[in-house]
Amino acid sequence: MMNRLEKKVAVVTGAGGGLGRIYSRRLAAEGADVAAWDLNGPGAEETARLISDAGRRGLGLKVDVTREDQVMAAAKATFDAFGRIDILINNAGIVRDVPPAPIESISLDEWNRIISVNLTGAFLASKAVVPYMKRSGRGKIINVSSGTALHGGSIRLDYICSKAGVIGLTRALAVMLGPDWINVNVIAPGPVPYTLRDLDKGATPDEAEAKFPSDLIFAGRHIKREIQPSDLDGLVAFLASPESDMITGQLITVDGGRVFVG
């Protein structure tokens, strides 16, 4: 694998497992040192260990991305450890713990919780690392939205709105930070069964298929197969690399063609 990210330092939020860990390991494989931030401290430390085992420097930090004090402290700790911050992957995100509900049943506390992690967390992490990127004279921010933010849906209203906000944040920051040579882009994956089923701890394959049926996942998709983590981590690495230096403010969907965005 090419060392496109040699001498770069990346921060990945929500890196304690799932796709966040996969992104972290791909960036390390491309040559980056990686700070794994996650509310699950042991998970973040395990990701950092895997990075170190692969020959790069890893740092695992317990961080609540909704807490500005913790995010600012984590950014400083990352800079103190590595001497720079070049890349931020705003991956941290949650869905509701309870089944999808109509708007009448969504409490303000539930709404605020989803927005605070998925949108405010991306804002706070960006705010925290941008000063360090400016010191280096450039940087890359990759935000993670969702295909649901583009085609809507009758369930998970709070999640959809939070992910739509991430797209707006991306485009505003791209304009704001362009003069500082900081690229800001957003990816919008379709459903990734690997991630969805990982949320269902202990589910059998039949139970997972019942909850996340293939015909629902494939609905409207022109390429009729499941999205794999390998469909996403290469894109993240590309957007973090110098090869994307003239790409900013862009929304890239990874959904087998379900949503076309002009």
Active site residues: 159
Question: What is d(CA 41, CA 44) in angstroms, rounded to the nearest whole number?
Answer: 5
Alpha-carbon span 189 to 174, nearest angstrom: 20
| Distance separating alpha carbons of residues 212 and 219, to the nearest angstrom | 12
